Amino acid sequence: PSIELLELMGVVRENGSEQGSFPPVKIIDDDLVFYGIQAPREIFEMYRYLLKVSDACNWSSDQNAVPLSTKKKQKELKDSWARWTACLQGQPITTVNYFGEKVALYYLWLGWYTYLLIPPAVIGVIVFLYGLAFFNSSPLKEVCEADTIMCPLCDKRCKVWQLSDTCMYAKQVSLLFDNNGTVLFAMFMAVWTLFLEFWKRHRASFVCEWKVSDWCEEEEELILEIVNNANCEPKEYKHSYLRSTLVLICVTILVIIGLTHALVVFRVIAAVLMADGSWEFLSNHSNSCAMMLGAVFHYLIITVMTRINRIVAMKLKTRSHAATEKSFTVKMFTFQFFTYFSSLFYVAFFLGCHPSGCLTDLFIQMAIIMVLKQTISNVFEFTVWLCRWLKRRRTHKLQRKCAHCYLKDESEAKHGSELCDNCKLRNWLSNYRLNDVDSFSLFNEFLEMIQFSFTTIFVAAFPLAPLLALINNVIEIRLDAIKMVTLERRLVPKKTNDIVWTGVLEAIGVLAVIANGLVIGVSSDFIPRLVYRYLYGPCANSTAADTCMVGYINNTLSTVRMGDNNILNEFLPKQMVTAGGLNVSHCYKDYRSNEDYSLTPQFWLILAVRFAFVILFEQHVVVICKFIAAWFVPSAPMQVKNDRLFDKLNRLKEEL
């Protein structure tokens, strides 16, 4: 039998006898029959030898046994790791390595990421509180005290409206997330993504300790194929441009364009229905309510598309399990990323601004999606855990081990000693009743790392995202640990020297720099306020800092006269009637000339400064810092490199 089959059965062990093969063990319960299959010693010897002589897997053949979970080991993991009271404690990663290097590296990454979320979470709260100080700022006073009548926001149905109607909206939301503190926080978060360089150093220390620095999963799979069949042929690398093109078209048309249009149409229909409804509150706040309903609808789409994306990604298999896992990770993340962020990109850069600020819509979308996702996901996962725990409590309790086997287990008898049939049956039944797992079970946990995108991309619109991520991760680590130790069968330990998501996380870091630069430079009011302060405002020729922003709102508007020939066909007469029944002869819009309504020089100046800021922010500040940090911080500590050097030297001398 193949080693892969034996490992998946979870009963692999090397027998110390000199015989070549043994009859399988068979133990019958009331309605179950258990078979214990023993592999010939020659299989393990061949496997170890090939690992030893391979280029990438050498010196990593010390352990072959994959025993089932035992009560003693489960208790050890519960006491040190898998319990709620350990939420604020560190993780015993070396002990977690009981599940294999792949699982241990996942928890090592999650713990490291959670620990480094503390600074941005604290700074994000400070930025949020800083926004509260803007409640009495000049621009806000001008919005709340203005009697300015604004032009309709849409064709035919929308009417003129009072600028002061957005006072509470601007006061409660906009200036909390569109201020100078937000800009500095976005810059900090763009540089914060450099922690991935420090993660590489942190990972290298444990990888060196576990002696898997040069491990290659694909080469191990090749060795397993040779062990199973000495005359096997390798699975050749293949690439289909047709399939890649179809996937690209699918992602572009169905996911990006399709979902974005669906959400836009939903918001438009919801806004119209609520505006024409009988409820006065919904009618007066139809746009805001439609935006919130759109965010909830977006979350429901995400939930459905996650299942669809998984099915599609699993269909796109490649030549080996390791390659399939990497390919599945990239494809699944790509599908999920566009499912989550296609509408957010549209809101941020194409939808157009709400009267009280461009970041407001983006903030509400992100807040609703992130809160719903984390809350519902954790509540559902905890409910499943609780139901399974209660179910186990109600099942028939297994008899205790006999005295002989109990003492043998307590004294940690050497490997190879056998339990009696009754005690074997007890252990097998205990593991059989646990939930089944497969090679992609860990991927479900990694998929939660889409949260990393929320804490970096568009963080300028939602400074509280790192705090929510921190709280979620503290709960997530212990919930996953408890589930893995008490509710699931032991995963077949797999060796690896890195998490599959490293490349994905680095791509998110680059996107975060680009997106935050665009949000600050293009979507926020930071640049227009800056230009007004130093070129058009009261402080342009003086230093009276307390009055620098007086007149800013009026400066951003221009008068539109309804009797002008250029405007006659733009609005209907019924649109020029206020909510109080007053007919108006003019309204206000953006940076336009009062004569011919062309864009003013100030508009073009602001546009030029926006793009100049984006270029400077991305290329000359953050990117340079990232490259300097990547060069300055070695990927592995010198002590780790020296340990590997001496370890290789000693092993080579031993072989010689």
Smallest CA-to-CA distance from 116 within 218, 27, 34, 202 is with: 202
Per-residue pLDDT at 121: 93
Query: What's this model's pTM, rounded to 2 decimal places?
Result: 0.78
Residue 9 has pLDDT above 50, yes or no: no
Picking from 70-74, 265-269, 298-302, 565-569, which range would have the lowest pLDDT averaged per residue?
565-569
Please check the confidence at residue 6 and state whether its pLDDT lies above 50.
no
Q: How far apart are CA 651 and CA 292, in angstroms?
A: 63
Average of pLDDT values for 25-53?
78
Distance CA 137, CA 175 (A): 9
Confidence band for 65, pLDDT divided at 50, 70 and 90: low
For 206, the enclosing helix (H) or strand (E) is helix 195-209
**What was the pLDDT predicted at 587?**
66
% pLDDT > 70, the chain? 77
| Residue 117: predicted pLDDT | 92
Higher pLDDT pick, 17 / 157: 157
Question: Which of 60-74, 139-153, 190-204 shows the lowest mean pLDDT across its residues?
Answer: 60-74
pLDDT at 156: 67
Q: Could you tell me the two tokens for 652?
A: 């080579």
* Mean pLDDT value of segment 376-392: 73
Question: Residues 430, 432, 436, CA angle at the centre, nearest 5°?
Answer: 125
- For the cut 90, the answer to whether the pLDDT of residue 8 exceeds it is no
Mean pLDDT to the nearest integer, 315-322: 68
Predicted confidence at residue 98, as pLDDT, reads 87
pLDDT in tens, 619-642: 666 667 767 776 777 777 888 888
What lies within 8 Å, CB to CB, of 516 at 6+ separation is 186, 187, 189, 190, 456, 457, 458, 459, 460, 617
* Whether pLDDT at 339 is above 50: yes
Could you report how far apart the first and last alpha carbons of the chain are, in Å? 34
174, 359 in Cβ contact below 8 A?
yes
Q: Does residue 283 surpass a pLDDT of 60? A: yes
Bigger pLDDT: 579 vs 202: 202
Q: What is the pLDDT of residues 532-560, one digit of tens each?
A: 888 888 887 766 666 777 888 778 877 77
Which residues, 6+ apart, have CB-to-CB distance to 19 below 8 Å?
A: none
Q: Mean of the pLDDT values across residues 214-242?
A: 80
What band does 566 get if pLDDT is binned at 50, 70 and 90?
low
**Strand locations in 583-625, DSSP E?**
586-589
Distance CA(186)–CA(188), nearest Å, equals 5
| Pairing assessment for the beta strands 149-150 and 558-561 based on DSSP bridges | unpaired
> Which one-letter amino acid corresponds to residue 209?
E
- Residues ≥6 apart with Cβ < 8 Å to 207: 101, 105, 213, 497, 498
Distances, alpha carbon 257 to alpha carbons 519, 523, 564, in Å:
21, 21, 38
Identify the band that residue 565 occupies on the pLDDT scale cut at 50, 70 and 90: low
- What confidence tier does 119 reach under pLDDT thresholds 50, 70, 90? very high
- Rounded to whole angstroms, the Cα distance separating 245 from 601 reads 44
Q: Tell whether the model's pLDDT for residue 415 goes beyond 50.
A: no
- 609 against 408, higher pLDDT: 609
Statement: residue 416 has pLDDT above 50: no
pLDDT of residue 337: 81
267, pLDDT greater than 90: no
Beta bridge partners of 435: 488
pLDDT of residue 157: 67
More confident residue, 350 or 202: 202
Contacts with 171 (C-beta within 8 Å, 6 or more apart), sequence order: 135, 140, 144
User: What local confidence, expressed as pLDDT, does residue 41 receive?
Assistant: 81
Note whether 190 and 508 are within 8 A (CB): no
Annotate 138-155 with three-state secondary structure.
Answer: HHHHHHHHCCCEECCCCC
- Per-residue pLDDT at 584 exceeds 90: no
